[in-house]
Amino acid sequence: MSHYDAVVIGAGQGGGPLAGAFARAGRRTALIERAHVGGTCVNEGCSPTKTMLASARVAHLTRRAAGYGVLAAVSGIDMRRVRERKQAIVDSFRDGSQGGLDRAGVEVIRGTARFVAHRTLLVVSGRDVRRLTADLVFINTGLRPAIPRIPGLSDTPFLTSTSIMELDAVPDHLLVLGGGYVGLEFAQMFRRFGSRVTVLQRSAQLLPREDLDVAQEVAKLLAEDGIDVRLEAGVTAVSARDGGIMVEDRGRSKAEVEGTHLLVATGRRPNTDDLDASAGGIALDERGFVRVNERLETTAEGVYALGDVTGGPAFTHISYDDFRILRTSLLEGGRATTAGRLLPYTVFIDPQLGRVGMTEREAREAGRSVRLATMPMSLVARALEVDETRGFMKAIVENGSNRILGAAVLGLEGGEIAALFQIAMMGGLPYTALRDGIFSHPTLAESLNNLFAAMDRTSQ
């Protein structure tokens, strides 16, 4: 048996930095990881997908080159080269994460961990078994793709968000189950690589957490890109047929859809199956997520959870903020919590959808008195200059305080523009500070002047 001051289960974007912080503070620290250091973000999520999206954008711009007065053509897509470029980025980031742990003095233990008692773990790697105890244990085991129970699916070859990035060739016709962030990013990516793409979304809109006007505009631009979007799809069966895949949609379209490849992007589930959490006194919710309070404490004393496995927003920056909360509370003598933190995120379709704070729907359901500032990207000078005018900007402003409660930017560099709203919200600034701010011309930032000036004119 080995005893540690701290044991972290999972080397994701919260667990890795936390282990390093404890080790640098002089605490004997072990990090248990059964796959790759860096977690989903580095290995199967943010880094590889955004690298491949960059390749797809180059293909897209090359096809549009004549409109800019440039003579160019896409003669084909080398998916092996796309994949190699993706993997080089992954390897580089993974090595960087491993190097940081080594320099901090973290003991990295390879294997699968499970609880056998309070703050007591068995780590199994092949025939090797180690028993660990610790003063503090941190669960950072993340998520994996959730596979729905659809008749025939288990007998049909399908892709997940991980395996689709290993394709050697562009699919002729890609079927995408799910109209969330992951499904839409891959749908547009492979459409730009040259695939026919059909998206089957169960609900009445894409991106169900977004306001309806935002979701409708997203659907519009995807249709402009040649993607077949089918809402209220009721997929009742999947089967392999004549070298292809057949999906029965008994929803709104009541039709069969045949493709060559099927991507299942219907959500993610927590990696807690092998954890035997109850043996450690740790409660899970009905979906298998670890129950935590605003201090990220589980139901077991001295055991914490962070990142996606807690059931909160599944974003890298939220996982990293969880790390900061625990570092502040346990190593720096502070008292940080998750209460009241802003939630920014970006959907990396092109143009991007950047979001922060409350949606209009959330604000109205909360009983807030609000007014809206909206403006099409076609009125943004910078967007006109680069010929990307699709989308619009939307800010939710509270009456009385004039504070910005939230914003959505579907447009050129939407994620970066949303960050400007977030900074104003962090500082508690009224919208007038952005309306009257001096931003350099011609930049996307100066569009905030016109956005809020237009709101004032229509409010008068």
β-bridge partners, 167: none
Nearest-angstrom CA–CA distance, 150 and 153: 6
pLDDT < 70: residue spans in the chain: 460
CB 247 within 8 A of CB 264: no
Question: What residue spans of 157-211 are helical by DSSP H?
Answer: 181-193
The confidence score (pLDDT) of residue 350 equals: 97
CB 319 within 8 A of CB 31: no
In degrees rounded to 5, what are phi and psi of residue 357? Answer: 70, -150
Nearest-angstrom CA–CA distance, 420 and 426: 10
Q: If you write DSSP's letter for every residue of 17-49 in order, what string do you get? A: HHHHHHHHTT--EEEEESS-TTHHHHHTSHHHH
Nearest-angstrom CA–CA distance, 94 and 363: 40
Active site residues: 441
Q: Is 21 exposed, middle or buried (0-12, 13-18, 19+ CB in 10 A)?
A: buried
Tokens coding 263? 């991507």
Nearest-angstrom CA–CA distance, 268 and 262: 17
Q: Residue 442 to residues 101, 352, 447: CA-CA distances in angstroms?
A: 43, 19, 9
The separation between the first and the last C-alpha atoms of the chain, rounded to the nearest angstrom, is 73
Question: What residue spans of 331-398 are helical by DSSP H?
Answer: 360-365, 381-385
The confidence score (pLDDT) of residue 407 equals: 98
The confidence score (pLDDT) of residue 460 equals: 63
Instruction: Dihedral sign for Cα 278, 280, 282, 287, please.
Output: negative
The confidence score (pLDDT) of residue 290 equals: 98
Tokens coding 81? 């080269």
Question: Which residue is associated with the tokens 């995807």?
Answer: 222
Question: Which residue is associated with the tokens 């002729």?
Answer: 172
Nearest-angstrom CA–CA distance, 134 and 304: 12
Q: Which amino acid is at 355?
A: R
The confidence score (pLDDT) of residue 241 equals: 87
